[in-house]
Amino acid sequence: MSMLQPPTDLISVLPNNGYLIIPEQLLDKLHQFKQSESHHKEAGGLLIGCKRINGAKDEVTHFELTDCSTPHFVDKRSRYGFLRRSGSHIKKVLTAWTNSNQLQTYLGEWHTHPEPHPTPSASDINEWKKNLKGQKAILIIIGQKSDWFAYWNGSQAIVIQQPVKEINSP
């Protein structure tokens, strides 16, 4: 018998009434880049996972995160900035796509902020408007004490609740 703990999923409800599912281990992985000390630089990467399509409505309802890319030494990192420069981020998405029989794909982006309770900067929002126009995506900012989670609906970020272990059904 395996002594490994089964993975725990954290769940949040999306504005489209779908679910965001993120394994606790993946959130732990993001928290390793928390900028809790003054010398810690911003970090970031791409979110990888599966989109679950609701066939009846023909729209994406659930986002299941499975993995993420993490900073590479050629990325531009400072205390107040992170710029993806490395091809390793996209490469990781493409590898997941191939290895999962085209189930896992790009689901969004994450980065850290050197503030306790993060909110997106004006340049974050400009970047998303430019790069995620018409796309649905998950956006995560890891702060020093709490995190910011949002659903990008194609034109704007809609804040969602911090994913938790159990959602009480109504």
Q: Among residues 48 and 142, whose Cβ is nearest to Zn ion?
A: 142
CB of 140 to Zn ion, least distance (A): 11
Q: Among residues 75 and 124, whose Cβ is nearest to Zn ion?
A: 124
Helices (H), strands (E): how many in the chain? 3, 10
Q: Among residues 42 and 64, whose Cβ is nearest to Zn ion?
A: 42
Q: Among residues 21 and 30, whose Cβ is nearest to Zn ion?
A: 30
The answer to the question of residue 75 lying near Zn ion (CB under 5 A) is no
**Number of residues forming the site for Zn ion (CB under 5 A):** 2
Residues 6+ apart with CB under 8 A from 169: none
CB of 112 to Zn ion, least distance (A): 8
DSSP 15: T
Residues between 110 and 149 with contacts to Zn ion, criterion CB under 5 A: 121, 124
CB of 120 to Zn ion, least distance (A): 6
User: Chain centroid to CA 104: how far?
Assistant: 14
User: In whole angstroms, what is the distance from residue 89 CA to residue 76 CA?
Assistant: 13
Q: Among residues 124 and 147, whose Cβ is nearest to Zn ion?
A: 124
CB of 141 to Zn ion, least distance (A): 6
User: In whole angstroms, what is the distance from residue 84 CA to residue 4 CA?
Assistant: 34
CB of 82 to Zn ion, least distance (A): 7
User: In whole angstroms, what is the distance from residue 95 CA to residue 135 CA?
Assistant: 21
Torsional sign, CA 82, 83, 88, 93? positive
Binding-site ranges for Zn ion (CB under 5 A): 121, 124
